Structure 1
Amino acid sequence: METEAILIRNVRPVGFTPGAAPAAATDILVGADGRIRSVGPALPPTPGARIVEGGGAYVSPGWTDLHAHVWHGGTDISIRPKLAGMQRGVTTIVDAGSAGEATFHGFREYIIEPADERILAFLNIGSIGLVACNRVSELIDIRSIDIDRTIAVVEANRDLIVGIKCRASHVILGSWGITPVKVAKKVAKILKLPMMIHVGEPPPTYDEVLELLRPGDIITHCFNGKAGGSIVEDEDLWDLVTKCADQGIRLDVGHGGASFSFKVAEIAIQRGLLPFSISTDLHDHSLNGPVWDMATTMSKLLSVGMPFEAVVTASTTAPMSAVKLATDDLLGIGKVAELTVFDLVDSDLSVRDSQGATAKLHKMFEPRWAVRGAQLVRASRHMPKEGTASVCTCGAHG
């Protein structure tokens, strides 16, 4: 299929230099080959180019969701990538353990390869992954893990597998405790990959999990409000979490159906502890509430005091760096385009967190366009349909 150049007019770059204020308005020309051809104010029209009128909107590196579940048809909670992807402003989705070694080949062939979005994956340490995660744990006992096959699958798919995932809460592990986390960490060390750990209802405790992690590893659901798993209910845990974050262990939001608390996030941010990355943990039981989409999740973090530029960084270059995607000179001439055009608009939308607490969002991130290579997709937030809101009360969903 023939492609055309894309000319994005009058947009303010933000997030290309972490922490920097938005730059002056500019135009961006993407060639028919998907590479950036020119950046500057008032670029001359290019014959046949598709025109995006930014109207003073922001443009950032493509939004990157570090935790979602898109092995649609292969698990009982995963959604189609397009519901979390470019139509929502997200150009890269990192699936957080939907597939284990026994199911990754299908995930690759039927979901990852045909998708418009870039999809990467943390491989579940449990061989079956989240096939029936509401009903059948992927980590019942040691028979659930095959170290040899897990290593072989990673080695055969290093272009897509970016780490090892383990869900560490009692609703998944039962009486098995911390052992699966230790096995997952051992496998990650062998493969020289980071580990992503889901923390929730203890045991194991948050403290036990942190003691096993190293710089580059990721704690997802970092601001959960679950009894025994909240970082603001225990000063010793708070001190350990802040120390680990300073040492390079990465705190990921992973909102999900049961794992984000406005109160915990607000207290943590007020005390100077910001998440490394903002992610949705979108799945079938969080899509129509309380998560909705990446933009709403970003807006929630903004509402509890996270600075605008920090929200953008935590949704773009920070998660990109966590999975070893290049983050330098993303608007450089000749670079493959991966961009999200968005506005920040006034709002009075009432939303809730995973514990049911409500808050009003006075500012909303509104995605307008997503660009990945020569692909140009109009984007918007996921709008709820009457009667579709769902509530997840099971910690196994995150």
Structure 2
Amino acid sequence: MSVTASFDLLLRGGRVICPASGIDGLKDVAIRNGKIAAVASDILPTSAKEVVDVSGKLVLPGLIDTHAHVYQYVSGRFGMNPDMVGVQSGVTTLVDQGGPSCMTLPGFRHFIAEASASRVYAFISAYLVGGLEGHFYPQLYSPDGVDIDATVKSATANLDLVRGIKAHAEIGGFARWGIRVIEMAAEIGKRADLPVYVHFGQLWGLPESGANGEDADTILTRVIPLLREGDILAHPFTRHPGGFVNREGEVHPVIQAALDRGLKVDVGHGSHFSYRLAKKAIAAGIIPTTLGADIHGYNTHVPAPAGTPDQHEDDENHPFAGQAKFSLVQAMSSMMALGLSLEQVVPMVTSNPAKMLGRSHEIGALKIGMDADVSVLSERNGRFVLKDNENNEVIAERLLQPAFCLRAGTRFDAVAPILPQAVAA
């Protein structure tokens, strides 16, 4: 170690891709005092106290998961441990979608955001109860369960944490209450001047298309006019009714018009994702803006600690029994298997979500002076089987896997028990 070392850490020899900086090439990344200090070719190894050889790996701005469920314990089985989904899976920033509400945000701040090594933001729920296990208590998700004034007040008083509003536009809610809840959520977003993230596609256990005369294929055309530039349409590739692809197998023409006026698209991968429908939408030119993993306890198996029984191994009431493991990096591989390039996918988990959050000055880039949030990924070539919740399979010829990440310069290895293992074709 040099006594004159000017950097704390040097990541040496990786392929650095930073869309926000226009960088894509073999570079070294130097860190000092938890901040990015230099990104350049051939930085002297003797200039750093510690050198990590990342040759053959991808070095990216810290990955941002735009669709997380990490209000652990409070949101029942939905809520995952934030650091398991975050830094232990190679992801430095999480956006909880609808877990906390104006009622429960203080607890989310104290027990989740402040207590986690991962950086955590929230799109608070339009509903007073937030992301409780709503399929058990649908009556809580009526217009009577929304308080516009209280939610606007909570959001605007906590803008360091709250970066948007979460709403649901799905056939169950429409069959019960019509469009009123979405109108209220749109009003919250407008008054708080925050983006509204709208779930499309049927939720389990709620009325199906046709109930009370409601048609899932009309939801998009009724909801989109309520939304503003910057609002987000989620689950474009859902296997459920009410998504971007109608029951005739065609992409709604209203989608392109929505994109043309500045609305955004988030994949929200998880249990709604269908390779079959994703292929149709991508072929129609629908390229997502951002990529969220949508990992929660109903679609991802968390192994029980050694010596303790697995409570959910044979739980017939588990809506997605049999699901295994997942990660945001696996979702990146999934998009590449559908024909998108690595260069198209990287902005979906770095610069684009940073813009969505209004935090491009803090995250999503490897710029000098910013917190050293860095994700290092391995890339394997071969033939690997990826499967969705319809049991459709695609073959990925390139598989990305997290190696480690830095969160403000502190290293976290990718050791999460939910990380999937490669399955060769």
Shorter-chain TM range is 0.7 to 0.9
1:137 CA displacement: 3.0
Partner of 1:59: 59
1:193 CA displacement: 0.8
User: Conserved in 1, the CA contact under 8 Å of 2:327 and 2:420?
Assistant: no
Partner of 2:380: 345
- Give deviations 1:237-269, integer Å, cap 9, x for gaps: 622101111221111110122x11101211222
1:30 equivalenced with 2:44 (yes/no): no
Which amino acid is the alignment partner of residue 106 of structure 2? H
Which amino acid is the alignment partner of residue 284 of structure 2? R
Which amino acid is the alignment partner of residue 143 of structure 1? D
1:229 CA displacement: 2.9
- Give deviations 1:310-330, integer Å, cap 9, x for gaps: 111111111111011116993
Q: In 2, Cα distance between the equivalents of 1:337 and 1:383?
A: 23
1:347 CA displacement: 4.2
User: Conserved in 1, the CA contact under 8 Å of 2:374 and 2:405?
Assistant: yes
Change (3 A) 1:256 1:235: closer
Change (3 A) 1:230 1:337: same
- Give deviations 1:127-167, integer Å, cap 9, x for gaps: 01122223113753232112222122112211110111111
TM-score, normalised relative to structure 2: 0.83
Q: In 2, Cα distance between the equivalents of 1:138 and 1:371?
A: 43
Partner of 1:206: 220
Partner of 2:359: 325
Partner of 2:280: 267
Q: In 2, Cα distance between the equivalents of 1:131 and 1:13?
A: 40
Which amino acid is the alignment partner of residue 360 of structure 2? A
| Counterpart secondary structure, 2:282 | helix
- Give deviations 1:338-379, integer Å, cap 9, x for gaps: 211112212433232132322232211111121121211122
| Counterpart secondary structure, 1:98 | coil
Change (3 A) 1:318 1:48: closer
1:101 CA displacement: 1.3
Change (3 A) 1:338 1:216: same
User: Conserved in 2, the CA contact under 8 Å of 1:231 and 1:264?
Assistant: yes
Change (3 A) 1:247 1:234: farther
Q: In 1, Cα distance between the equivalents of 2:325 and 2:197?
A: 20
Partner of 1:250: 264
Q: In 2, Cα distance between the equivalents of 1:196 and 1:172?
A: 16
Give the stretch that moved more between structures: 263-272 or 295-304.
263-272
User: Conserved in 2, the CA contact under 8 Å of 1:367 and 1:379?
Assistant: yes
Which amino acid is the alignment partner of residue 39 of structure 1? V
Partner of 1:8: 11
1:46 CA displacement: 4.9
User: Conserved in 2, the CA contact under 8 Å of 1:13 and 1:24?
Assistant: yes
1:235 CA displacement: 8.2
1:306 CA displacement: 1.1
Q: In 2, Cα distance between the equivalents of 1:270 and 1:232?
A: 15
User: Conserved in 2, the CA contact under 8 Å of 1:127 and 1:145?
Assistant: yes
| Counterpart secondary structure, 1:42 | coil
- The aligned runs of 1:56-95 (5 Å cut-off) are 56-76=56-76, 77-95=78-96
Q: In 2, Cα distance between the equivalents of 1:336 and 1:140?
A: 39
1:179 CA displacement: 0.7
Question: Of the two, which has the highest radius of gyration?
Answer: 2
Partner of 1:227: 241
| Counterpart secondary structure, 1:276 | coil
1:184 CA displacement: 0.5
Partner of 1:373: 408
Q: In 2, Cα distance between the equivalents of 1:48 and 1:132?
A: 49
Which amino acid is the alignment partner of residue 326 of structure 2? W
| Counterpart secondary structure, 1:99 | coil
From 370, 395, 398, the counterpart of 1:360: 395
1:52 CA displacement: 1.9
| Counterpart secondary structure, 2:381 | strand
1:100 CA displacement: 1.3
Give the stretch that moved more between structures: 269-278 or 216-225.
269-278
- The aligned runs of 1:268-283 (5 Å cut-off) are 268-283=281-296
Which amino acid is the alignment partner of residue 161 of structure 2? L
TM-score, normalised relative to structure 1: 0.88
Which amino acid is the alignment partner of residue 403 of structure 2? R
| Counterpart secondary structure, 2:187 | helix
From 215, 225, 232, the counterpart of 2:229: 215
1:303 CA displacement: 0.4
Partner of 2:41: 41
Gaps of 5+ in 1: 386-398
Give the stretch that moved more between structures: 121-130 or 218-227.
218-227
Q: RMSD across aligned C-alpha pairs, in angstroms?
A: 2.4
Q: In 2, Cα distance between the equivalents of 1:84 and 1:63?
A: 11
Q: In 1, Cα distance between the equivalents of 2:25 and 2:383?
A: 28
Give the stretch that moved more between structures: 363-372 or 197-206.
197-206
1:291 CA displacement: 6.2
Q: In 2, Cα distance between the equivalents of 1:157 and 1:110?
A: 15
User: Conserved in 2, the CA contact under 8 Å of 1:139 and 1:172?
Assistant: no
Give the stretch that moved more between structures: 59-68 or 336-345.
336-345
Partner of 2:311: none
Which amino acid is the alignment partner of residue 133 of structure 2? A
- Give deviations 1:211-255, integer Å, cap 9, x for gaps: 211210001111112234342645886221011112211111101
Change (3 A) 1:125 1:313: same
Q: In 2, Cα distance between the equivalents of 1:173 and 1:280?
A: 26
